[in-house]
Amino acid sequence: MGVKTENGFQITRDQAIPGPDAMLATLTKAGYSNTRARRSVLEALFDANGQASPAELLALGRAHHPALGIVTVYRTLEVLSELGLVRKLHQDDGCHTYAPVQHHHGHYVICERCHRTIEFEGCDIAAVVASVESQTGFQVREHWLEMFGLCPDCRLEHPGAV
């Protein structure tokens, strides 16, 4: 799904979405060093199933850079978050996973069975925000939204599932 071009972007039918190379470019443009550890974390992010925990990224990243350490995974994710290149997803058990950002205002749907995660855009909750503001008197500045369900593959394997 998507072809990688020389400039580091992946092409889908209708738009260019960033891949590891594009993110690395953003990183260096922001003044961060181009290091083997950071490259391996970026590769790991895209090797994953749409999202991954720091421990999973360590395992995936070591395929590219065996000496990679968990602390650097955390530190790289923090930098990527600051630059808006990844988002932290909240798991019910309190742990976190990270997903690459492909749309400016994106949220994620997570498969409850295989944990495949896809970012979606087009979240239009302006009406809900307006209603909340009038109900509560709050001025709303941002929101979190995560959806859970079954991905297409898991729906096929569990035809009876809700």
Task: Report the interface residues with DNA, using CB under 7 A.
Answer: 28, 32-38, 53-55, 65, 67-72, 74-76, 78, 94-96
- Rounded to whole angstroms, the Cα distance separating 96 from 104 reads 20
- Rounded to whole angstroms, the Cα distance separating 23 from 101 reads 10
- Rounded to whole angstroms, the Cα distance separating 2 from 100 reads 15
Name the residues that contact Mn ion, by CB under 5 A: 123
The answer to whether 72 touches 80, Cβ cutoff 8 Å, is no
Is 123 or 140 the residue whose CB approaches Mn ion more closely? 123
Identified binder of Zn ion from the candidate list 75, 113, 118, 119, rule CB under 5 A: 113
Is 74 or 148 the residue whose CB approaches Mn ion more closely? 148
Residue list 85-104, contact with its own copies (CB under 8 A): 90, 94, 96
| Bridge partner residues of 16 (DSSP) | 11
Residue list 96-155, contact with its own copies (CB under 8 A): 96, 109, 111-112, 118, 120-125, 127-129, 131-132, 135-152, 155
Identify which of 120, 89, 96 has the alpha carbon closest to the alpha carbon of residue 107.
120
Is 30 or 140 the residue whose CB approaches Mn ion more closely? 140
The answer to whether 156 touches 141, Cβ cutoff 8 Å, is no
Using CB under 5 A as the binding rule, whether residue 111 contacts Zn ion is answered as yes
Residues 6+ apart with CB under 8 A from 38: 24, 27, 32, 72, 76, 79
**Residue 114 binds which entry of Zn ion, Mn ion, its own copies, none, CB below 5-8 Å type-dependent:** Zn ion
Is 62 or 113 the residue whose CB approaches Zn ion more closely? 113
Instruction: Please report which helix (H) or strand (E) contains residue 154, including its range.
Output: helix 152-157
* Residue 99 CB neighbour total at 10 angstroms: 21
**Residue 113 binds which entry of its own copies, Zn ion, Mn ion, none, CB below 5-8 Å type-dependent:** Zn ion
Residues that bind its own copies (CB under 8 A): 90, 94, 96, 109, 111-112, 118, 120-125, 127-129, 131-132, 135-152, 155, 161-162
